[in-house]
Amino acid sequence: MHRIGFIGAGPVGTAFAISLSRHGYEVTAVHDVNRDAAESFARRLTGCRVCGTAQDLADGAEFVFITTPDDIIARVAGQLTWHTGQAVIHCSGACSTDILEPARKQGTIVGSIHPCQTFASIDQAIENLPGSTFAIQAEEPMLGALKDIAVALGGNWVQLTAEDKILYHASAAIACNYFHTIVKLAADLWQDFDKSTGEATQALLPLLRGSLNNLSTVGLPHCLTGPIARGDLGTIRKHVDALARRAPSTLPLYKALGMETIPIALAKGTIDQAVADELRELLKPD
C-alpha cells in the first residue's frame, strides 16, 4: 500500500484521509500552515506524523494530496521538489490538473478527484461520503488508482476533461450552495408572521427531506408537486400578489424559478401548452 500524505488539513483533507484510512489506505503524513489543524488531523489517524514543511512531506510520501484552498494548490505544486513516479493529486472541483503542471514536469503522475459532496463538518462529511460521486480527471495509471479510491470509499465515479470541470462545478454549486440560498429565502418569509428563520428552517426540514426522498425514489419530472404541476393559476396569482406586497425582493427569483418549473410540469404531463402560456404570463419579469 502506498504512503499517502496530505498538504492541507482542512475539512476535505481530514475527512478524506480518515475515510481512506478506514478503508485500508495508509495515511502517513500531514502538513498544514496551521499547525493545530495538522495536529488535530494526525490525532485522528494511526501512524500519521505532522511534517513541519511541505517539502518534508513531499520527500516521504508516494501519494500526495494537496487539499489547500484552490488558489494555493498551484503555488504549493510549483514550490516543491518532487521525485519521478510520485503521485500528486488535488481535490478541487473547478480547477483542472493543469495547475499541477510544475509537478508533472518533474516526472510526477498527476490527477484530480473531487468528491461531489459538501464538507461543512468533518464527521458529517465522513458519514456522507459513501454513495457520493467522485469526479476524476486523470490518465492511466492514475485514472485506475483514483477510480479504486472512489469505489473503496463506497462511491461512484465520473471521468471529466479539463473543459468539463468548470461546468460540472457550477452544477454542484447550484445543487448544493444555491439550495441553501433558496431554503434561507423561503424561511425568511416566516419572519412576516413573527417566526424566526431558525424556527422556519426546522419546520421546513421535513418538507425538504420529503422532497429529496421523492427526487430519489420517484425522480424528475414526476416528483414535482405543487401549484405549477397542478396548473393552479389562482394560487400562483395569489403568491405573486402576496410577495409583491410583503416580500418584493424575493419576487424576481420566485418568478424566475417558476418559469424554470413550467417545463418540468409539461414533461410530467399534468399541464398543457395553454396553461403553460398562462403561467408564463403570470411569471414574466416586471
Nearest-5° Cα angle at 88, 67 to 26: 75
Judged by CB, which is closer to ligand NAP: 177, or 191? 177
Distance, CA of 69 to CA of 37 (rounded, Å): 14
One residue of 4, 9, 27, 236 binding ligand NAP per CB under 6 A: 9
CB of 243 to ligand NAP, least distance (A): 32
Candidates 18, 20, 45, 91; binder of ligand NAP (CB under 6 A) is 91
Q: Is the dihedral of CA 234, 239, 245, 249 positive or negative?
A: negative
Q: Is 11 in the site for ligand NAP (CB under 6 A)?
A: yes
Measured from the CB atom, the residue of 59 and 232 that comes closer to ligand NAP is 59
- Considering only 17, 18, 27, 32, the residue that binds ligand NAP (CB under 6 A) is 32
Q: State the nearest-atom distance from the C-beta of 28 to ligand NAP, in Å.
A: 17
Window contacting ligand NAP (CB under 6 A); options: 87-95, 154-162, 214-222, 235-243: 87-95
Task: Let me know if 161 is exposed, middle or buried by CB neighbors in 10 A (0-12, 13-18, 19+).
Answer: exposed
Closer CB to ligand NAP, 32 or 236, in the complex: 32
Q: Which residue lies nearest ligand NAP, judged by its C-beta?
A: 10
| Choice between 69 and 210, CB closer to ligand NAP | 69
The piece of 17-25, 28-36, 196-204, 264-272 that touches ligand NAP (CB under 6 A) is: 28-36
Distance between start and end Cα atoms, the chain: 62
| Distance in Å, CB of 201 to ligand NAP, minimum | 20
Q: Which is nearer to ligand NAP, 9 or 200 (CB)?
A: 9
Please work out the total of residues on this chain that contact ligand NAP, with binding judged by CB under 6 A. Answer: 27
Out of 21, 92, 132, 137, name the contact with ligand NAP by CB under 6 A: 92
Between residues 170 and 257, which has the closer beta carbon with respect to ligand NAP? 170
Question: Are residues 95 and 73 in contact, defined by beta-carbon separation less than 8 angstroms?
Answer: yes
Host H or E run for residue 263: helix 251-268
Task: For ligand NAP, give the closer residue by CB, 9 or 228.
Answer: 9
Cell digits of residue 238: 395569489
Q: DSSP secondary structure string, 39-98?
A: HHHHHTSTT-EEPSSHHHHHHH-SEEEE-S-HHHHHHHHHHS---TT-EEEE--SS--GG
Closest CA relative to residue 147, chosen from 120, 103, 173, 113: 113
Minimum CB distance to ligand NAP, residue 138 (Å): 16
**47-86 binders of ligand NAP (CB under 6 A):** 54, 67-70, 72, 76
If you search the block for the grid coordinates 472512489, which residue do you land on?
150
- Which amino acid is present at 47? G
Rule CB under 6 A: say whether 12 interacts with ligand NAP: yes
Q: Report how far residue 45's alpha carbon sits from residue 246's, in angstroms, rounded to the nearest whole number.
A: 53
237: nearest Cα among 283, 194, 178, 184: 283
Contact set with ligand NAP (CB under 6 A) = 7-13, 31-34, 37, 54, 67-70, 72, 76, 90-93, 114-115, 118-119
